[in-house]
A = this chain, B = another copy of it.
Amino acid sequence: MLRNRLFTPGPTSVPEQILLEMASPIIHHRTEEFIKIAAETLENLKYIFQTKNDVFIIASSGTGAMEAAVVNLLSAGDKVAVISGGKFGERFKEIALAYKLEVIPIEVEWGKKLSPETVKEVLAKNPGIKAVFGTLCETSTATHFDVKGIAEVVAGFEDTVFVVDAVSALGAVPCLTDEWKIDVVVTGSQKAFMLPPGLAFMSMSPKAWAMAEKSTLPKFYLDLKKYKKTLAKNDFPFTIPVSLVAGLRKSLEIIKSLTMEKIWEEHRKRAEATRQAFKAAGLKLFSESPSDAVTAVVLPEGVEGDKLVKSLRTKYGMSVAGGQDKLKGKIIRISHLGWQDEFDALTAITAVGVVLRQAGCNIDMEKGLSLAKEILFTSEK
């Protein structure tokens, strides 16, 4: 009997106590009982977002909330800058173009760093940019972006807001929404929140709301004004996935009891152990600015990534991600997100090492594993 293990950067594993919470009998979404759950949940979401801003829950994938950011902030013909260093940066561009906005692309070579200085230059050279769209962790390349630095730059422009796609990293790596002055943060349930997919969350700063008040792009289901109107009553404009919200309440309770600082540190350690293990084994990381949410390892010449992923799944029940678009077959991505501990990290490293050896790679995984153990177990707890 294969034991299924999820090391994909979403969906991630859901702890049994949350699965069982979601299997509780359905309660109606406009009862006092549910409104109490919603109130607690909406309040605790602010903690994960590290914000005092309103946080909204939308029944959609993360992309729905990305689109909500675009259609609620902007108006026909507006000029926006989109930072794109991978598949998900591209998505913001596609959404903006679907609404016929003028897009100033800030292209970053996949896996490379972006200096906040570059954003500053683009904003200075192109007056009238209403919003800058960026990514906290570009999942397709496992790259961390300096959201703090970029936010600081954008905050210097009175009429420009900064929107961050934090879908794959909020709750896994620091994202200090208020302290860093990020106007809009967007994320999804199926990553660090330890929940199934189906919910998206987003925060809106007062600066973002001021822009939203003037927005003319058409919207209905994603119209955040409707969500804001019901928020005061801890209610939602449209029927909310009650079972997923019940799970969310439980997940936030667990996260809060652990503290964000502890959770960020645990993710950092698992990521660092994984990075050092593969480097020690003789392999290279794809990103020059690796995220603690997910690690992308470059596959040696001759190893077919898709086969490797399939082999892990069929032989050992383990799910990792391959490369997407132009990285298809060339990298393997191992997630550190959510419900994982040190032993899970070692298991993932071991399994990937085993199939790489089976594929004929001459790598020293023992050296890698030994280093990983050191990182995972000797640091202070």
Contact = CB atoms under 8 A, between A and B. Distances in A.
A64 B236 CA distance: 14
Nearest to A194: B26
A194 B345 CA distance: 38
B99 A197 contact: no
A219 B99 CA distance: 7
A152 B142 CA distance: 54
Nearest to A4: B25
Nearest to A339: B26
Interface stretch (A5-13, A267-275, A355-363): A5-13
A14 B28 CA distance: 12
A27 B22 CA distance: 16
Interface in A30-61: 31, 59-61
A134 interface: no
Contacts of A12: 26
Interface residues of A, number: 52
Contacts of A13: 25-26
Contact of A241 (B94, B198, B221, B223): B198
Contact of A59 (B8, B14, B60, B67): B60
A20 interface: yes
A29 interface: yes
B31 A313 contact: yes
A221 B61 contact: yes
Nearest to A99: B218
B220 A63 contact: yes
A258 interface: no
Contacts of A63: 220-221, 238-239
A196 interface: yes
Contact of A28 (B62, B67, B319): B319
Contacts of A100: 218
A335 to B, nearest CB: 10
A242 interface: yes
A28 B63 CA distance: 18
A92 to B, nearest CB: 10
A250 to B, nearest CB: 13
Contacts of A61: 59, 221, 238-240
B26 A23 contact: no
Contacts of A6: 26-28
Contact of A218 (B8, B25, B218, B239): B218
A291 to B, nearest CB: 18
Contacts of A243: 14, 22, 196, 198
A123 to B, nearest CB: 25
A195 to B, nearest CB: 9
Contact of A64 (B60, B99, B197, B240): B60
A160 interface: no
A111 interface: no
Interface string A268-308: 00000000000000000000000000000000000000000
Nearest to A95: B220
A190 B196 CA distance: 17
B14 A239 contact: no
8 contacts: A14-B243, A61-B221, A61-B240, A100-B218, A196-B242, A197-B239, A197-B242, A218-B218
Interface of A: 4, 6, 8, 10-14, 19-20, 22-29, 31, 59-64, 67, 94-95, 98-100, 188, 190, 196-198, 217-223, 238-244, 313, 319
